[in-house]
Structures are given as structure tokens and as C-alpha cells.
Structure 1
Amino acid sequence: MSQDIAVAPRIHISLEHQRLTLIGRDGGVEIEYPVSTGLNGPGERDGSGCTPRGEHFIRALIGADQPLRTVFRGRRPTGEIYSPELAQQHPGRDWILSRILWLCGRESGKNRGPGVDTFRRFIYIHGTPDTEPMGVPLSHGCVRMRNDDIVDLFGRVQAGIAVFID
């Protein structure tokens, strides 16, 4: 007699392939999205601009019911909606748009704790201007996604879901 074993849904982020994969309860791929991770490559050090590797979880989901392309600063909506005109007014701004999945490391000394803490580094999975390329590392350490994709992912996950980055 076969026994069905349900596994918890989880997220895998491949730095090499610049892909985020949501793995469902059945262990199969539910959906995949292109992403853009840290321009400075992989790394855990605070201030490095690198994307942290290893085991994480989603600590908080921010932005439910906000309009597409809502601008966030300090994890709070500014009341602005991203547009090319707004971008011209704020050149060089690191745009965090639509939704935020705030990550927290699980591995003490690697991505959790002094000098390497993913949560305290404010590492998110978040929306970015749709003009920004995906599949190419260009972020300041976060995992950037298309706005429609981050809204879709946001609706499929909950706080506590495991995230593995390699």
C-alpha cells in the first residue's frame, strides 16, 4: 500500500539560473519565475550588496491589497505608484514595488546573527520596475521580480514558508 506524504510548499532560488521556483505540497514544480539577484554575486556579509545563500524563511508578507507598482520605503507604502516620470524625479532610487516578502536566515553564523543576518540586512523578494532586466544579477542583494509575478507569488505563499537560495 502506498502512502501519500505531503511536504510543505517551499521556494528555491537559483543564483546561477536567476530563477525562483515554487515547489508545491506534492513536491513538484508549481510555478517558476525569472528573477534578478545581487550584482555583487552571492554572499552573506552585511553591507556587501550580495544575495545571501542557504536556508531561509519568509518572515513577513507586506503589501497585501496595495495597487500594482505601489512604491515602498522602509516597508511602508509611500502613496506613490511607480511611473517613468516618478523615476526621472528620483534617479538612482532602488525601487521596491508592489509586494515584499521579507526573508530571515535559518543558519546561525551563515545567514543569521551578527554581521551576516539576512533579516537585519533587509533582504526581500520584491517587485521592481518592469523595465529592469530579469535573468541578470543587478540588485543590491535582494531578489527582484516583475510586478505581476511578485503579486502572483504573494498570493500563493504565507509567512513561514521555507526559502532555499543557492
Structure 2
Amino acid sequence: MITIGIVDNDRFALPMLDMPLTDIPGPEICRRVRAASADIVVLGITAYSLDHYRQLAIDAGAQGLIAKSVTPKKELAEAMRNVLVRPFPGFPTTEQAHGSIVSASARRSRTLSKREREVLGLYADNYSTAEIAERLGIADSTVSVVVRHAKVKLDVATRSKAVRVFRALY
């Protein structure tokens, strides 16, 4: 987490989250903040392609995403001021994101089995199908069946979308 932000009444009113953190990725931190509060505006920041992290940031409840290359202080300050007034185009408001994360989490936490959460979590940690099968002591085909069931429950068409939704919710 980048500890730059606008402080309001001794709390961060605008935390800026680095998307590709290794221990806890920015989208996961954002999802946790958003699940807990509809009051905090979250701005994602990345050195990588904005296209790569845009949907992850939206799904996690961020109000905007900027490139680290926006280093001139004037441009960064302008982006921070703008996101406090309204979300970037295509991003949800804090209230919309909070409601979406809370209701989706409640629905999905009841529907995904422990095994489905395990498998998607391992895919989210970049394990291959063979590595997941070996780690869990199951066949590769069983991993595929578990993913297929999770995709149906999450109402998504691809494994990568299932992992993205899983990351946003857990």
C-alpha cells in the first residue's frame, strides 16, 4: 500500500493502493476496505498497463486507477482531487461498490464449496492445474470439474474470470 493520501480527521480519506503487491495484492486490500466501509475513496496505482488492472480495480471496489508514470505532482494532485469528487468513468461510487461487494460476498460465500475456494485460491496464487492437483491430492480432471462448478456458481464463462471474481470477493 502506498501511504500517500489525503488525511481527513486523522484518517486516510484517499488511500492509494499499488495493484501488483506480492504479499497482498492491491485489489484484495481494496476489496477488504470496500467490504468494511462505503466511506473511503480508493485510488489504485500501477506501473503496469492500466488495461491489465482496470477490471480488477473495478471489481474490488476502487473509484479510479492511475499509472505511476503520472509523476508530475500537479497531475497526481489533480487525479486525487477529481476522484474525491466523483469516480473515474466506468468506476463505481463508494456506496455502489460497498453494496456490490457485501451482497456478492454474502451470496457467493454460501455457494462456493471449500474445495472450490481452495482451487480458485491456488489459481489466484499462479499455481498450474498439475500443481493444484498434486498439492490437493486429486486428479487434474477433478481440478477441472471443480473449476467448472465454480464457474457456474459465479456465473462466469472462463477460469480467468472466475479467479478475478474470486480475488475480488475473498
* TM bucket, shorter chain: under 0.3
Q: TM-score, normalised by structure 1?
A: 0.26
More strand by share: 1
Higher RCO (C-alpha under 8 Å, 6+ residues apart): 1
Q: Which has the larger radius of gyration?
A: 2
More helix by share: 2
